[in-house]
Chain A
Amino acid sequence: MINSFKAEWRKLRQRPAVWVLGGIMLAALFLFGYAFNWIQLSFPSKTFHSDAGLTIAQLKTALYPINFVKNSLEGVGIVGSILTLILGALAVGSEFGWGTVKTVYTQRPGRLQALAGQVGVVSVIAAIFTVAFYAVAALASLGIALGDGATITWPAAIDIIKALGATWLIFESWSLFGMALAYLFRQSAMAIGIGLAYVLAIEGILFRLLGGFDAGWVTTIEKFFLGQNAGALIKSFGQPFASPGAAAPIVTAGVAVLVLVVYSLVFAGVTSLVVRTRDVT
């Protein structure tokens, strides 16, 4: 297990695609979470107005350190899901494309030990992404606050730790989903394609359309889906400002964490079964 982890770590830490994905995630957070908002609020158009009736100075506090956790969590949603799903799919699927599955399996490790190494390293990379995510958010918010001459106040440490844990769990469950798809389809392209279709079409468009029915059964179904629970966990941290008409989380944070853990275990279990039983042709 340790040997497989070492091998996997040596392999993935040197793979440019992994860090490109991380870079895209951080760039998206910095640009869409901070830079564009700051520019919009610092140089507002004449027609600018806030739906919540807030002033520009009040809106800007969303970009300051006191709100860096809440402001960043919004970026974890779709972008984080997609990128970590791709991370998991690439970590596994490329092995089939290069034919290295057979090279690894014939070297020595048992199949499940090799898989455990992959899961372990992808989990570490998800953790690195998580820490980097909040580090960039904290630095961006600090820079903006210093630039505006605002007071520097940070959220409580416990809130930061909770956000780190929640974000890692969300990244982890999506990356395990990507890995499971890649093992099932024995390639990364199909895994990424189907994963994206699921994230965007099922979790995104379908539930948005069904939401128009305002029916209880829709909410009941939603409670069992990965993306909806990830969204509920994000919402449980609150937003810098209460948005008029914003829907409440469909489940509590505790339930969302439980569902995400169950999903992660199911993905890992399905993957283990496939890895153990399938021929390498």
Chain B
Amino acid sequence: MASSENVITTHKLTKRYGASIMAVDSLDLEVRRGEVFGFLGPNGAGKTTTLRMLLGLIRPTSGSATVAEHRPGDPEGLRQIGSLVESPAFYPYLSGRENLKIMSDYAGVPHTRVDAALEEVDLADRAKDRFGTYSMGMKQRLAVAAALIKDPELMILDEPTNGLDPQGVVEMRSLIRRLGTGNRTVMLSSHLLNEVQQISDRVAIIRKGKLVAQGTVHELRGESAIVVRVKPVDAARRQLDRMLGAAAVTAVDGTLRLSVDPDRAADINDALVGAGIKVSELRAVERTLEEVFLTLTGEAA
């Protein structure tokens, strides 16, 4: 059923190992239909544990989750989900094509989808070769192909660029961009924050198993601003206070930080120059997702 707005919903999802290890702590997530959802967190934050719970591989200690309208691990739900969890795993003595035929049998879909999936990930030329001879990039692509044979409405990708060389990263980035088009929902766990920032509609950040932020990339990055370097500063400040309101103007290290839409840069420049103020620098500033991530997770070097 495609009526629900959320493809994934978790409510106080918790996984505890023994008495002392809290892998995931009361996690509330919402992944909306058709969006690319970035799932971020430092190593050991509980990302993979969360994804494994969503796929029914491990059972939560408490809390609940609904994935593709079903409880995690339900075969009917899994029919709608393509996934790549950690490293790609297939039968090393079989070819890529044979591996996909096995996966299509398990998924209950016809073998006719296999060749299309191999084409989609650019593996058709090596489809007859044994999986054991594949490079890491090819293995990752085969895993994506195994997910695609179900033509899933939801893709869950856990660190899909792990272990790839720069060329492999570029190829995988391009592939993920293609996967995220149309109505398909993609939940992407990655360390490549720049990539996540570029392709994600919404992002969640977890730290030590707890959700520390969830929202659109724009919301998480916060308001953008303009920084100007001017002389004389006092005259410029008076001019800008009148123009933008005092609350929007902050002095920072000899510059003025203006909390306004960067689209107003030309107007501001005209106003300052018209008032006889020398403008030596005027630039828009935005926090990157990486800066937000490092701030929220306390991972700054």
Contacts and interface: CB of A to CB of B under 8 A. Distances in A.
Verify that A and B bind, or say they do not: yes
Interface of A: 3-4, 6-7, 10-11, 14-16, 98-100, 102-111, 113-114, 279-281
Interface in B131-158: 143, 146, 150
B207 to A, nearest CB: 21
Contacts of B59: 279
B89 A99 contact: yes
A103 B103 contact: yes
A24 B85 CA distance: 38
18 contacts: A3-B106, A3-B107, A7-B102, A11-B94, A15-B91, A98-B89, A98-B90, A98-B91, A103-B88, A103-B103, A105-B73, A106-B81, A108-B106, A108-B108, A110-B75, A111-B73, A279-B58, A281-B57
A11 B91 CA distance: 8
B91 A279 contact: no
B202 interface: no
A100 B89 contact: yes
Interface string B44-67: 000000001001111100000000
Contacts of A104: 103, 106
B91 A108 contact: no
Interface string B67-91: 0000001010011010101011111
Given A7-B106, A281-B58, A108 B93 contact: no
Contacts of A100: 89-91
Contact of B93 (A7, A16, A102): A16
Contacts of A10: 98, 101-102, 105
Contacts of B93: 14-16
Contact of A11 (B83, B88, B102, B108): B102
B92 interface: yes
A11 B87 CA distance: 20
Contacts, number: 88
A107 B103 contact: yes
Contacts of A6: 105
Contacts of B150: 107-108
Contacts of A3: 105-108
A99 B87 contact: yes
Interface residues of B, number: 32
A31 to B, nearest CB: 28
A105 B56 CA distance: 8
A103 to B, nearest CB: 5
Given A10-B101, A279-B57, A107 B106 contact: yes
Contacts of B103: 7, 103-104, 107
B85 A7 contact: no
Nearest first, the 3 closest Cβ-Cβ pairs linking A and B are A99-B89, A7-B105, A279-B58
A107 B78 contact: yes
Contacts of A109: 75, 106, 108
B128 to A, nearest CB: 13
Contact of A114 (B89, B98, B106): B106
Given A6-B105, A104-B103, 16 more contacts: A7-B103, A14-B98, A16-B93, A98-B92, A102-B85, A103-B89, A103-B143, A104-B106, A106-B57, A106-B85, A107-B78, A107-B107, A108-B106, A279-B52, A279-B59, A281-B57
A113 B81 CA distance: 18
Nearest to B88: A103
Contacts of A102: 52, 55, 57, 85, 89
A108 B82 CA distance: 10
Nearest to B55: A106
Contacts of A114: 106
Contacts of A113: 75
Contacts of B73: 105, 110-111
Given A100-B89, A280-B57, A106 B78 contact: yes
A111 B277 CA distance: 73
A111 B56 CA distance: 10
Nearest to A100: B89
Most buried by B among A10, A102, A103, A108: A108
A102 to B, nearest CB: 6
B68 to A, nearest CB: 12
A281 B94 contact: no
Contacts of B94: 11, 14
A279 B24 CA distance: 15
B143 to A, nearest CB: 8
B106 A4 contact: yes
Contact of A106 (B83, B87, B98): B83
Contacts of B89: 98-100, 102-103
Contacts of A110: 73, 75
Contacts of B52: 102, 279-281
A148 B92 CA distance: 48
Contacts of A15: 91, 93
Interface string B97-134: 01001110111100000000000000000000000000
